[in-house]
């Protein structure tokens, strides 16, 4: 059994002195890693620290409650990308998402933290993939997608 601490959106909101909807937006956009437990989000202490460390230029001034939790804070460059794939139906969308997910999980650990969210937009017959991570990770995934597109055009 793990001794990891978990925090609710409300607890994080109090610590960071941010509105709960702002915390939820960070989770939705992949900037704050979280797990859904029932209908509520839970964030590990580690993921909260990673978020605070990579957040703003001057976290102690912005997040006074986290100074003791985080300690020395550093910044890393993160990149986000939105990719739209045509998908005739939800089954095809699931295959696309599974393929991209497998590609992401095969990336080397040197790429650091990475995240993906997806959404099937039935009216447009499109699956939207949102990536977030290091420039190297994003470039590698986009290269794979570019290679795939070139093969389909032949």
**Which pLDDT value is given to residue 29?**
78
In this structure, CATH architecture of domain 6-70 = Orthogonal Bundle (1.10)
**Which pLDDT value is given to residue 73?**
40
Q: pLDDT tens digit string along 68-110?
A: 444 444 457 788 899 998 999 999 999 888 888 888 888 777 7
Residue ranges of the chain assigned to CATH 3.30.1370: 79-153
Q: pLDDT tens digit string along 14-45?
A: 888 888 898 888 888 788 888 888 788 899 88
DSSP characters over 19-37? -HHHHHHHHHTTSS--EEE
For 79-153, CATH number?
Answer: 3.30.1370
Backbone angle region of 138, left / alpha / beta, with phi > 0 → left and psi within -120 to 50 → alpha = alpha
Q: For residue 3, how many C-alpha atoms fall within 13 Å in the half-sphere facing its CB?
A: 0
**Which pLDDT value is given to residue 69?**
47
Residue ranges of the chain assigned to CATH 1.10.1660: 6-70
Percent of the chain with pLDDT over 70: 78
Q: Does residue 154 surpass a pLDDT of 70?
A: no
Among residues 129, 124, 116, 131, which one has the least CA distance to residue 89? Answer: 124
Among residues 6, 14, 7, which one has the least CA distance to residue 65? Answer: 14
């Amino acid at each position: 059994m793990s001794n990891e601490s978990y925090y609710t959106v409300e607890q994080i909101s109090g610590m960071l002195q941010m509105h709960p909807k702002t915390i939820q937006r960070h989770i939705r956009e992949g900037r704050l890693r979280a797990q859904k437990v029932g209908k509520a989000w839970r964030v590990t202490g580690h993921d909260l620290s990673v978020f605070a460390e990579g957040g703003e230029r001057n976290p102690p001034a912005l997040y006074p409650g986290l100074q003791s939790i985080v300690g020395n804070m550093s910044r890393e460059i993160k990149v986000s990308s939105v990719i739209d794939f045509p998908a005739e139906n939800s089954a095809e969308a699931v295959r696309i998402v599974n393929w991209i997910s497998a590609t992401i999980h095969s990336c080397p650990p040197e790429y650091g933290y990475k995240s993906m969210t997806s959404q099937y937009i039935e009216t447009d017959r499109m699956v939207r993939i949102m990536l977030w991570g290091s420039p190297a990770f994003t470039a590698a995934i986009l290269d794979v997608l570019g290679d795939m597109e070139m093969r389909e055009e032949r």
